[in-house]
Amino acid sequence: MSKRDYYEVLGVERDATAADIKKSYRRLAMKHHPDRNPDDTASESDFKEAKEAYEVLSNDQKRATYDRFGHAGLEQQAGGPGGGFNTGDAFGDIFGDVFGDIFGGGRRGQSNVYRGADLRYELVLDLRQAVFGDTVNVELPTLQSCETCDGSGAQPGTSPVTCDTCGGHGQVRRQQGFFSVQQTCPSCRGTGRRIESPCADCGGRGRSPRTKTLAVKVPPGVDIGDRIRLGGEGEAGQNGGPPGDLYVDIRVTPHPIFEREGADLSCIVPIAFVHAALGGNVKVPTLDGEVSLKIPAETQSGKVFRIRGKGVKPVRAHATGDLYCRVEVETPVKLTSDQKNLLNRFNDAIVAGGDRHRPRVTSWKDGVKRFFENIGS
């Protein structure tokens, strides 16, 4: 084997960290591996040279000897030239360290503790609940830790045992030529343990379906699309893992009177013809009681009035919105003969007074006249 300087082989400085050495070796090993370069003796030689350098520099004791005495020190320590390197298991360990990181493995196996799944629940509120807040009890179907076996999956009085196939690592290694392939243990499916006497209630899964009741506190001012997070109220974790979270999505049902837009509310207020013409006060509903709205004389249908501070205080805002009232003049229906006669006499008096009593009609007639004049020209 070549006696080039091992630091030069890996392309690192003499004070390189273990992470730098590993990173450099991984790059060279991927580049020169024989499976990527079939029938290329030069690449095979470079691959073996990099492997030898990594085996020394990744071992603290060997690296210290090499830094002090060079190649001669390693040969003396191993009992003779070429005796310091094992191309069997030692190479498999090195290869597993490096390529296990790439493909998600590792010599120590992987954790078999899993966090529980997050859950989503749609909570339907009416407008008053959304504006003022409420506490709502919800029933949630979920997977919870089995009460019989306390989540272990084993029958009470027994415990899971270490998997004898993988020794508790959850993974097994298979040597295929230069490659050391790491796979999920087929016996325990990656958990690293085996249950000899499964719990009768959960079938050895450690979790069982259950419906639980939660009191969800709805803060004042929530709106459609808002989400409430309840930490730890999702599905139970596996093998002692933490539970997931519960996300409560807010939906607000339509209100028969009010419509909401952000912090503001709006509604339609029907008023009598007399109130629109002569003015007066009308009672207007709000979410926390009635208020009096002053209608000026000669108010036209469609006029919008604002009542300050009678809207909503959103969750993420400091100011309370307003209530916008759009008045609509109501046309009387089911009139008696006397009422009709009174209205005809009233209309005659209005017409006799000229267009000054009907400015909108006059403006509309002028607009129609100009329209047809423009067509004629």
How confident is the prediction for the chain on average, in pLDDT?
82
What's the pLDDT score for residue 304? 96
Query: 133, 137, 141: which is closest to 215 by C-alpha?
Result: 137
Cα–Cα distance for residue pair 317/93, rounded to 1 Å: 59
- Rg (Cα) of the chain, in Å, rounded? 41
Going by pLDDT thresholds of 50, 70 and 90, the confidence category of residue 40 is: confident
Domain membership of residue 147 (yes or no) is yes
What's the pLDDT score for residue 76? 66
Owning domain of residue 180: 161-194
In this structure, are 175 and 145 located in the same domain? Answer: no
Cα–Cα distance for residue pair 297/274, rounded to 1 Å: 9
Domain membership of residue 320 (yes or no) is yes
In this structure, are 122 and 225 located in the same domain? Answer: yes
Cα–Cα distance for residue pair 112/134, rounded to 1 Å: 40
Helix locations, 84-203, DSSP H: 89-103, 127-132
In this structure, are 276 and 247 located in the same domain? Answer: no
- 62, two tokens: 């060997």
In this structure, are 230 and 276 located in the same domain? Answer: no
Query: 294, 374, 277, 284: which is closest to 329 by C-alpha?
Result: 277
DSSP state of 316: T
What's the pLDDT score for residue 77? 61
Query: For 346-375, how does the pLDDT look when each residue is reduced to its tens digit (9 = 90+)?
Result: 988 888 887 777 777 777 777 877 877 788
DSSP state of 282: E
* The three-state (H, E, C) secondary structure of 188-208, written as one string: CCCCCEECCCECCCCCCCCEE
Most confident of 106-120, 167-181, 221-235, 344-358: 221-235
Cβ pair 102, 27 in contact under 8 A: no
In this structure, are 93 and 132 located in the same domain? Answer: no
Domain membership of residue 362 (yes or no) is yes
Note the pTM of the prediction, 2 decimals: 0.58
Say which amino acid occupies 112: N
Query: For 243-291, how does the pLDDT look when each residue is reduced to its tens digit (9 = 90+)?
Result: 899 999 999 999 999 999 999 999 999 999 899 999 999 999 999 899 9
Domain membership of residue 301 (yes or no) is yes
Domain membership of residue 1 (yes or no) is no
Q: Which of 55-59, 111-115, 292-296, 302-306 has the lowest mean pLDDT?
A: 111-115
264 three-state secondary structure: strand
In this structure, are 239 and 265 located in the same domain? Answer: no
Say which amino acid occupies 296: P
Cβ pair 282, 265 in contact under 8 A: no
Query: 52, 11, 50, 54: which is closest to 33 by C-alpha?
Result: 50
Domain membership of residue 30 (yes or no) is yes
Strand partners, 348: none
Name, in order, each residue with C-beta under 8 angstroms of 305's C-beta and a sequence gap of 6 or more. 293, 324, 325, 326, 327
In this structure, are 121 and 222 located in the same domain? Answer: yes
Domain membership of residue 217 (yes or no) is yes
Query: For 52-99, how does the pLDDT look when each residue is reduced to its tens digit (9 = 90+)?
Result: 889 889 888 888 888 877 777 777 665 544 444 443 343 444 444 444
Domain count for the chain, please give it: 5
In this structure, are 223 and 147 located in the same domain? Answer: yes
Query: For 165-220, how does the pLDDT look when each residue is reduced to its tens digit (9 = 90+)?
Result: 887 777 887 766 656 677 888 877 777 778 888 888 888 888 888 888 999 999 99
Cα–Cα distance for residue pair 49/85, rounded to 1 Å: 12
In this structure, are 140 and 10 located in the same domain? Answer: no
What's the pLDDT score for residue 4? 84
Cα 257 to Cα 66, 115, 167, 374, distances in angstroms: 86, 46, 69, 44
